Amino acid sequence: MTKDQDQPAVPRRATRRTDAIDWAPIRADYSARKMTEAALCARHGITPTQLRYRKEKDGWVRDLPRHGERRALISRMFAALDRQVAQLEERMKDDAQGEVALLATMARTLEKLMALDAREKASTPGPAADKDMAELRRQLARRIAQLSG
């Protein structure tokens, strides 16, 4: 018996030529964000390399996050901005000059977040959300006044 016959054969991963694959349903699933890329590959019998190649070749993009995902993202970004402002305030106790540019950038970020949040809330307006935004604006205005004054 030869050495090759003593060892069990290692199963090879089944692959298909990319030109024999119907990419339309794969692209639809990819764009719709219905599953992870690994699950998409398993479902359609393709390898991650084949998927990556097709995405790059054809310029595939995924749809924007769903409504709930966008709200969560905006909320996390507001929280991150608040943490950064608090850290900035601590550092500014020693030297305010070096931090003013950062504060201006953060103010622009806040404006963009508020615009995103306003568009998101246009579909579900509520008086509590308007109060939160107004309070956030007042807090930021007070902090800017403290820094410049």
Q: How many CB atoms lie within 10 A of CB 117?
A: 21
In degrees, to the nearest 5, what angle opens at C-alpha 112 toward C-alphas 107 and 117? 120
For the chain of 149 residues, list the mean pLDDT of each consecutive stretch of 10: 48 56 89 84 92 89 66 79 80 67 78 80 61 79 78
Which of the 8 DSSP states describes residue 47? -
Domain ranges in the chain are 13-58, 67-148
The per-residue pLDDT for 108 is: 82
> Is residue 133 classed exposed, middle or buried when 0-12, 13-18 and 19+ CB atoms within 10 A define those classes?
middle
